[in-house]
């Protein structure tokens, strides 16, 4: 692949997902404000941040293809952020207990040279089991999901929190919708399966 591919993220989860495609890439941290705008819906937030992340890297890498991605989780009309503390993680999980949580993962592929971009939002829903306080406390103690939107890691013990999951790409739940990204990369002439 002649053109540099950049992941506009410092997320180890996204980096690990992109490594599955076995394409050479680098990571650069976009410095943007990730706060929701007043009244902004979770889906709009995820798309806006994915696009802003890609564009934040474009000026310093004008020949690159840049991947921006961000995620917003929503339960019962409330956007769930990264909890940061055990107490907030436990509160989030109690709030989600017995309810569906919708994850909106925005993806943007930007050709920094031409300005052409493709973007979309993938939706993945997890249905939480009814959880008691001791189960929630034990989960947070074991997994320490303090930097995860929704306070869980689906790729780990978080699976024990759910009754079922619905969506077209499990990778979107973890933070990078690879199926959609592959579609976009092919439109820009990059195929992970090409010789």
Q: Is 111 a catalytic residue?
A: no
**Cα–Cα distance measured from residue 80 to residue 67, given in angstroms and rounded to the nearest whole number:** 23
Q: Which residues are bridge partners to 98 per DSSP?
A: none
Distance CA 73, CA 79 (A): 6
CA atoms within 13 A on the CB side of 166: 6
Q: Which of 124, 116, 104, 119 is nearest to 181 (CA)?
A: 119
Q: CB within 8 A of 138, min separation 6: which ones? A: none
Check 70, 111, 132, 195 and give the catalytic one.
70
- Beta-sheet strands, E only, within the chain: 5-7, 26-27, 65-75, 78-80, 100-111, 117-128, 162-166
Distance separating alpha carbons of residues 12 and 27, to the nearest angstrom: 10
Q: Which helix (H) or strand (E) holds 120?
A: strand 117-128
Point out the residues that are catalytic. Answer: 70
């Amino acid at each position: 692949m002649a053109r540099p591919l950049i992941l506009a993220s410092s997320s180890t989860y996204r980096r690990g997902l992109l490594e599955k495609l076995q394409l050479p890439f680098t990571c650069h941290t976009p410095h943007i404000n990730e706060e929701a705008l007043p009244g902004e819906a979770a889906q709009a937030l995820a798309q806006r941040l994915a696009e802003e992340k890609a564009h934040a890297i474009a000026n310093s890498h004008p020949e690159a293809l840049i991947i921006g991605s961000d995620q917003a989780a929503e339960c019962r009309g409330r956007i769930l952020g990264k909890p940061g503390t055990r107490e907030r993680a436990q509160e989030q999980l109690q709030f989600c207990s017995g309810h569906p949580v919708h994850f909106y993962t925005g993806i943007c592929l930007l050709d920094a040279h031409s300005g052409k971009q493709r973007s979309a939002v993938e939706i993945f829903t997890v249905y939480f089991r009814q959880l008691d306080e001791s189960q929630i406390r034990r989960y947070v103690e074991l997994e320490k999901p303090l930097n995860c939107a929704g306070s869980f890691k689906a790729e780990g013990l978080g699976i024990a929190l759910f009754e079922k999951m619905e969506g077209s790409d499990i990778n979107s739940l973890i933070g990078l919708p690879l199926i959609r990204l592959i579609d976009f990369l092919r439109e820009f002439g990059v195929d992970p399966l090409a010789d």
